[in-house]
Structure 1
Amino acid sequence: MNRPLFVSLDGPKGTGKTTLLEAVTKSLRADNQKVIRLCEKKSDPYRSATMALVNKLVRNPGRDLEWEVCERLADSRAWISQHVLTQQPSDSIILIDRWYPSDAAFRRIVPFAEILQLNIDRNVQVPDLHVGVVTNPDTSWARAAARKRGLSSTVIHKLEEQIACTQAFEQAIADHGWVMCLNEGPIEEAVMQIVSQIYRVLNMQDFTS
């Protein structure tokens, strides 16, 4: 590769995405791949101000306010694209925990097509591979309930909202041709699916370079 391979893992809360990221990283490193794990939230220098706006949106839902949230997140991703992604080794695989596909799950008013165009207009880095991690919403809800920190979501508080979040995200996967990873069985199966997709993209890059 003459640049890092950029892979985003997105999905509703409680789908086991972070655990899956750890397992995928371990599998790739066992193959002597150089893997860089990033987290959008932790890489965003403006996150606290954006979350204050999200909290305001929860109390007073409206399109203008949600659009402002979308703009702030897109600006943050543009900053990460310019100042973080460009600093990674060219022979690495970057795995990021959440990117703009997650907006398809959590934004309830602004259509995702508009959010996607916003991110493109802001020159946000487009992943080489989009992976949507999903489970049945009852499963993700039960997983979250079993965690000490619970669902840990600012915008999702009821099972009905988790169902709507999951359905919206699955529709976006279908609309945009992202890779869907159903993470309900043994984690090894989900890891194998994602790793095989990563190698597929790597092989395509090698063929076209």
Structure 2
Amino acid sequence: MSALITFDGPKGVGKTTLIRLVNERLLQLGYVVESLAEKELMADAMGALVNQAYLDLKTRPGRASEESIAVLHRQGRLQIQETCLGSSMADVLLLDRWYPSDAVFRRHIDVASTIQANLDAGVRAPNLAFAVTCRADVSWERALQRKRRLDSKVIETFDEHAESTARFESLAQHFGWYLLRTEHATPEALCGEVVALIERTTTLR
């Protein structure tokens, strides 16, 4: 079974750049690597249902509509791991977002219980879960400078972004995800740290 390495975090923290560098470095070391994004896999698995749920959240924000999104994501992850993760022949699977991202985007429900519900349902826990973060003002400015800007279905203001960052960092500590701060380290340095941990994890398997 492939080692599952996940990367989650608020918008603009540098997650995508880090995944790209880690992918390149692992390939140089001789690993067979597959990089996937939950957003694309979820669109294939749950497509129209998830889109409609987000429209409902937009028009009727609150606990009920957000709970529907959480349930659909949980069901989608079970499908993804059966159809995509389980069939991969890679040594290492790098996954851009997994259930830890519920800590970023779920605002109206108990997020710790939502994450635990994923685990209780059988959603695969990563071999390494990286929580990529930085100060909210730094990631906000980075996100707004990107061509795609913030690109979020649920976060629109800085205050919401700051709140989601604080929630994510708190839950990262609660669940024991590996915290990576990007405001004081270069992407290359963080890549080296991540690759060293992946090498250790895959050696011990």
TM-score, with structure 2 as normaliser:
0.94
Alignment coverage as a number of residue pairs = 202
1:18 matched to 2:41 = no
Equivalent-residue separation in structure 1 for 2:109 and 2:141 (angstroms): 28
Give CA-to-partner distance per residue, 1:65-98, whole Å, 9 cap, x none.
2111100000000000111111111x51000000
Equivalent-residue separation in structure 1 for 2:140 and 2:24 (angstroms): 27
Equivalent-residue separation in structure 2 for 1:59 and 1:169 (angstroms): 25
Task: Tell me which moved more, 20-29 or 37-46.
Answer: 37-46
Written as runs of structure 1 = structure 2, the 5 A alignment for 1:33-182 is: 33-44=31-42, 45-89=45-89, 92-182=91-181
% identical equivalent positions? 33
- Name stretches of at least 5 consecutive residues in structure 2 with no aligned partner: none
| Structure 1: 4+ residue segments shifted above 4 A | none
Partner letter of residue 7 of structure 1? Answer: I
Deviation (angstroms), 1:52: 2.5
Deviation (angstroms), 1:197: 1.5
- Name stretches of at least 5 consecutive residues in structure 1 with no aligned partner: none
Q: Secondary structure at 2:142's aligned position in 1?
A: helix
Deviation (angstroms), 1:112: 1.9
Partner letter of residue 53 of structure 2? Answer: L
Equivalent-residue separation in structure 2 for 1:31 and 1:41 (angstroms): 28
Give CA-to-partner distance per residue, 1:135-188, whole Å, 9 cap, x none.
111111111111121110111111111100100000011111110111223111
Partner letter of residue 12 of structure 1? Answer: P
TM-score, with structure 1 as normaliser:
0.92
Deviation (angstroms), 1:14: 0.8
| Contact 2:7/2:15, CA 8 A, preserved across alignment | yes
